[in-house]
C-alpha cells in the first residue's frame, strides 16, 4: 500500500487540485473505489472546480490515473503510443479538440499527427497548425513519434503534445 501511496501522491509540478478533489478514471487501478468519471469519460459539470474550461489533462486527473490510462493503452495496443494532444494555453483562434487522449501508431510522423489534428478541428482545417512536443521542441514533420516518445515521454507514460495556429517561437 505504501508504494501505491507514493505513486498517487507523487509531486506533480502542474498539480492544481488536491488529490482528494480529483476524479479518478474508470481505469485507475490504484483507487478502485474513488469517485469516477461518467460513462462518456467526461467530468460531471456540477463539480465547481471542473467548470473551468482551461484545466488541462494533467490537472484533471491524478498521477495514478494517468499512469493507469497509459498502461491500459500500451497493454491493449503494442504498436501504438499513448499521446495527449491539447491546445496551447494562449491559443485563441483554434478550438479545443473533442477529446485529448489518442493512441497513435509508433511509425507515424509528426506530419501525419498534424493532419490528424487538422481533421479533428473541422471548420478550421485550412489554418496552419504548429505542433510542440513536451513544451520544449518544435519537431520537423518527418520526425517519427516513436523517437519523440522515447525522448520526451512523461513519467505517467504519455507523450504530451500541444498545438497552436501561430508559431510561438518567432
Q: Which CATH number fits domain 77-164: 3.40.50.720, 3.10.20.90, 3.30.420.40, 3.60.110.10?
A: 3.10.20.90
* Distant-in-sequence, close-in-space partners of 32: CB < 8 Å, separation ≥ 6: none
Mean residue pLDDT across the chain: 77
Whether residue 168 is predicted with pLDDT greater than 90 in this model: the reply is no
Separation of CA 130 from chain center: 17
Domain locations along the chain: 16-76, 77-164
The predicted structure's pLDDT at residue 80: 95
Cα 58 → chain centroid: 7
- What CA–CA distance (Å, rounded) separates 62 from 23? 8
Report pLDDT digits (tens) over 80-132: 999 999 999 888 889 999 889 999 999 999 999 999 999 999 888 888 899 99
Q: What's the pLDDT at 35?
A: 57
Q: Which three cell numbers stand for residue 15?
A: 498539480
What distance in Å separates the CA atoms of residue 108 and residue 57, rounded to the nearest whole number? Answer: 23
Amino acid at each position: 500500500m505504501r508504494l501505491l501511496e507514493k505513486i498517487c501522491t507523487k509531486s506533480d509540478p502542474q498539480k492544481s487540485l488536491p488529490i482528494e478533489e480529483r476524479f479518478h478514471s474508470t481505469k485507475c487501478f490504484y483507487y478502485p473505489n474513488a469517485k469516477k468519471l461518467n460513462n462518456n469519460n467526461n467530468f460531471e459539470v456540477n463539480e465547481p472546480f471542473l467548470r473551468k474550461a482551461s484545466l488541462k489533462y494533467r490537472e484533471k486527473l491524478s498521477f495514478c490515473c494517468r499512469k493507469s490510462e497509459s498502461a491500459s493503452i500500451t497493454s491493449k495496443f503494442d504498436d501504438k503510443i499513448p499521446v495527449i494532444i491539447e491546445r496551447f494555453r494562449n491559443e485563441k483562434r483554434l478550438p479545443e479538440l473533442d477529446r485529448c487522449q489518442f493512441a497513435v501508431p509508433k511509425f507515424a510522423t509528426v506530419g501525419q499527427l498534424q493532419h490528424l489534428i487538422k481533421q479533428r478541428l473541422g471548420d478550421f482545417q485550412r489554418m496552419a497548425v504548429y505542433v510542440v512536443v513536451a513544451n520544449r521542441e518544435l519537431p520537423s514533420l518527418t520526425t517519427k513519434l516513436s523517437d519523440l516518445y522515447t525522448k520526451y515521454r512523461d513519467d505517467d507514460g504519455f507523450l504530451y503534445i500541444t498545438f497552436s495556429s501561430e508559431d510561438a517561437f518567432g
